[in-house]
């Protein structure tokens, strides 16, 4: 059943992405219509199209650069937060206060005591 749910989520996500793309296409076509209507009647449409394409290309590159910078900043922030968490957990373990450390340690110590008693009993029985 979980696989079926994943497929449904993927289908919904794909459908949502399709709707978003259609909305973006519609808005960009509206922009293009308004841009082409401002073209002079001299026949400079190809020159304006090239300028328009270059302007949009530069906008996209700027946006991509901005997103990459944001991603790098967030990645660095996450790294430092995780490093801080690991260091604080390590300090707890070294101080003997970490529950993840104390519980298994208690089990190990109990097993050690039981084995020590068994070994002691075995040695006293073998010497008798």
pLDDT in tens, 47-56: 779 899 999 9
Q: What are phi and psi of 52, to 5 degrees?
A: -60, -45
Residue 38 in this model has a pLDDT that exceeds 80: no
Contact 14, 20 (CB under 8 A): no
Alpha-carbon span 95 to 68, nearest angstrom:
40
Residue 25 CA to residue 16 CA, distance in Å, equals 14
Decide: pTM greater than 0.75: no
Question: How many CA atoms, within 13 angstroms, populate the side-chain half-sphere of residue 59?
Answer: 6
Residues 6+ apart with CB under 8 A from 52: 35
């Amino acid at each position: 059943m979980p696989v079926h749910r994943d497929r449904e989520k993927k289908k919904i996500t794909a459908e949502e992405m399709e709707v978003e793309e259609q909305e973006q296409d519609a808005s960009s076509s509206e922009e293009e219509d308004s841009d082409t209507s401002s073209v002079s009647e001299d026949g400079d449409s190809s020159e304006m199209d090239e300028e328009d394409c270059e302007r949009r290309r530069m906008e996209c590159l700027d946006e991509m650069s901005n997103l990459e910078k944001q991603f790098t900043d967030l990645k660095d922030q996450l790294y430092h937060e995780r490093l801080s968490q690991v260091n604080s957990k390590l300090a707890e373990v070294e101080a003997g206060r970490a529950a993840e450390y104390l519980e298994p340690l208690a089990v190990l110590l109990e097993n050690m005591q039981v084995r020590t008693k068994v070994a002691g009993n075995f040695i006293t029985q073998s010497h008798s």
